[in-house]
């Protein structure tokens, strides 16, 4: 079967990265190969310290490879001037430093700088792009607020808006949802996916948020402690078990049935629970957390109104049921 190959926006080959200090060398990543595709939202995931930020710094030209190369649209990144790269890559890093008295609107307008120059005036097209970035991220209402007087989450949304206004072909965001509440996390990630898909951009997001990444990413890049990078459809990586790269110890694992990372249970369960699968899932979870591995009789669970029937008794909440089992 012929494979459909999307356009490769960014490619790394045989990339080895590290840091030098006086007489010592610290190798962080060795011999990496990767491809970032146009029109896709890719999430880069991996345990702390494996080298995700180092890879991003290399893509931005801030860290020079010890070996190998990175190409953006087939052109080597090494050797490109920062202002050339700024037109092609929009970035949101974890600890941005901007004057606190700058307003959200001014910050977002700054995104246009690579296209206008530092003293450049915004054209009507620049203004339109800034307005769109503000409305897409729903930061319109806080456009006149100062950066020092808004919440961390609002500041984070403003940073995403600035990256959208920059309008690079490649958008790279390092933990863009770290300070956001659940709804805003989902909204920002869906927005980024939408932008990748509709505007044909390549979006790379570094994140530790596996749930939201699973919900939104077209592709995962997984980095493990062996310094390799594995790329694939999130669902393929789950089914092949490679998702466990994110969990280097034996203690936790990805539960295929529940679609979640969980502590691996060593206790054997001796219980029979009669219920719909979705009800049973939550009953089992509560029993496991309470350390209850044994039921002497079958528990029957009913939905609407919720009730547990056990030993000719009726319980209307898991809390009451567990209380009974423990006493
Ligand atoms: N400027 C530096 N000089 C020397 N070593 C560094 C430097 N920056 C990072 N490192 C080291 O490189 C390794 C990878 O760090 P990096 O920040 O890339 O990891 P990460 O995967 O982004 O981690 P996290 O998820 O915690 O953000 C770590 O061992 C770190 O100590």
* Measured distance between the N- and C-terminal CA atoms of the chain, rounded to whole angstroms: 62
pLDDT greater than 80 at residue 220: yes
Checking if the pLDDT of 54 tops 90, the result is yes
Buried b (16+ CB within 10 A) or exposed e, 53-75: bbbbbbbbbebebbebebebeee
Q: What confidence score (pLDDT) does residue 129 get? A: 93
Q: Strand 273-274 vs strand 260-263: parallel, antiparallel, or unpaired?
A: unpaired
The ligand 1 atom nearest the CA atom of 94: 27
What pLDDT score does 4 carry? Answer: 67
For the cut 70, the answer to whether the pLDDT of residue 272 exceeds it is yes
Burial 152-166 (b: 16+ CB within 10 A, else e): ebbbbbbbbbbbbbb
Helix (H), strand (E) counts: the chain: 11, 16
pLDDT digits (tens, 9 = 90+) for 125-145: 889 999 999 998 889 999 999
Among 27, 52, 62, 94, residue to substitute to test ligand 1 (most atoms within 8 Å of Cβ) = 52
Q: What is the DSSP letter of 80?
A: -
Query: Which secondary structure element, helix H or strand E, spans residue 278, and what is its range?
Result: helix 277-289
From the CA of 171, how far away is ligand 1's center (Å)?
A: 21
Strands of 73-169 (E only): list them. 75-76, 89-92
Centre of ligand 1 from the C-alpha of residue 54, in Å:
6
Cα–ligand 1 centroid distance for 30 (angstroms): 14
Cβ 198 vs Cβ 164: under 8 Å: no
Pocket probe for ligand 1: among 54, 60, 178, 210, the residue whose CB has the most ligand atoms within 8 Å is 54
Strands 219-223 and 41-45: parallel
Average predicted confidence (pLDDT) for the chain: 89
Q: Please tell me what DSSP assigns to residue 3.
A: P
In angstroms, what is the span from residue 40 Cα to ligand 1's centroid?
26
DSSP for residue 291: T
CATH 3.40.50.300 residue ranges of the chain are 8-255
Q: What is the pLDDT of residues 57-90, one digit of tens each?
A: 999 988 999 999 999 988 998 888 877 888 899 9
Residues with Cβ within 8 Å of residue 269, at least 6 apart in sequence: 284, 287, 288, 293, 294
pLDDT of amino acid 232: 95
To the nearest 5 percent, what fractions of the chain are helix, strand and coil? Answer: 35, 25, 35
Strands (E) in the chain, as ranges, are 8-21, 24-37, 41-45, 67-72, 75-76, 89-92, 170-174, 202-206, 219-223, 229-232, 252-255, 260-263, 273-274, 299-302, 307-310, 313-315
For the chain, give the number of residues.
327
Q: Using most ligand atoms within 8 A of CB, pick from 28, 205, 246 the residue to mutate for ligand 1.
A: 28
pLDDT at 119 over 80: no
The CATH homologous superfamily for domain 8-255 is: P-loop containing nucleotide triphosphate hydrolases (3.40.50.300)
**Ligand 1: lining residues by beta carbon, under 6 Å:** 19, 26, 28, 46, 48-54
* DSSP symbol at 146: B
Is residue 219 over pLDDT 90? Answer: yes
Q: Whose CA is nearest to atom 2 of ligand 1?
A: 19
Question: What's the rounded Cα separation, in Å, for the pair 129 and 167?
Answer: 8
Tell me the CA–centroid distance for residue 49 and ligand 1, in Å: 5
Q: Any alpha helices (H) in 122-233, and if so which ranges?
A: 124-136, 152-166, 182-199, 210-216
Maximum Cα–Cα distance across the chain = 79
What local confidence, expressed as pLDDT, does residue 12 receive? 96
Tell me whether strands 252-255 and 229-232 are parallel, antiparallel or unpaired. Answer: unpaired
φ and ψ at residue 79, rounded to 5 degrees: 100, -15
**pLDDT confidence of residue 267:** 67
Dist CA 250 CA 252 (whole Å) = 6
Residue nearest to atom 7 of ligand 1 (CA): 19
The rounded Å distance from CA 48 to ligand 1 centre is: 8
Q: What is the pLDDT of residues 249-259, one digit of tens each?
A: 777 888 887 77
């Amino acid at each position: 079967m012929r494979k459909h190959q999307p356009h490769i926006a960014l490619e790394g080959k045989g990339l080895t990265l590290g840091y030098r200090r006086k007489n010592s060398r610290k190798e962080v990543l060795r011999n990496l190969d990767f491809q970032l595709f146009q029109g896709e939202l890719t999430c880069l995931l991996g345990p702390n310290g494996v080298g995700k930020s180092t890879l991003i710094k290399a893509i931005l030209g801030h860290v020079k490879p010890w070996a190998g190369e990175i190409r953006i649209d087939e052109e080597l990144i090494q050797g490109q001037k920062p202002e050339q790269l700024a037109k092609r890559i929009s970035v949101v890093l974890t600890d941005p430093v901007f004057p606190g008295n700058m307003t959200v609107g001014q910050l977002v307008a700054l995104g246009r700088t690579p296209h206008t120059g530092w003293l450049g005036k915004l054209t009507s097209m620049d203004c339109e792009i800034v307005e769109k970035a503000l409305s897409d991220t729903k930061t319109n209402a806080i456009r006149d607020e100062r950066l020092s007087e808004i919440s961390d989450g609002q500041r984070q949304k403003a940073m995403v808006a600035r990256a959208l206004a920059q309008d690079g072909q490649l958008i790279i965001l390092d933990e863009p949802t770290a300070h956001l509440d659940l709804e805003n996390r989902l909204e920002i990630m869906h927005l980024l996916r939408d932008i990748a898909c509709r505007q044909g951009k390549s979006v790379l997001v570094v994140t530790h948020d596996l749930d939201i990444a699973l919900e939104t990413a077209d592709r995962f890049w997984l980095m493990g402690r062996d310094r390799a990078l594995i790329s694939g459809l999130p669902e393929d990586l789950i089914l092949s078990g490679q998702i466990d790269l994110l969990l280097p110890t034996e203690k936790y694992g990805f539960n295929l049935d529940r679609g979640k990372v969980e502590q691996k249970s060593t206790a054997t369960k001796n219980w029979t629970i009669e219920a719909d699968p979705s009800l049973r899932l939550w009953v089992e979870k509560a029993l496991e957390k309470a350390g209850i591995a044994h039921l002497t009789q079958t528990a029957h669970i009913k939905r609407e109104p919720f009730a547990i029937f056990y030993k000719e008794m009726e319980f209307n909440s898991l809390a009451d049921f567990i209380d009974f089992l423990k006493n």
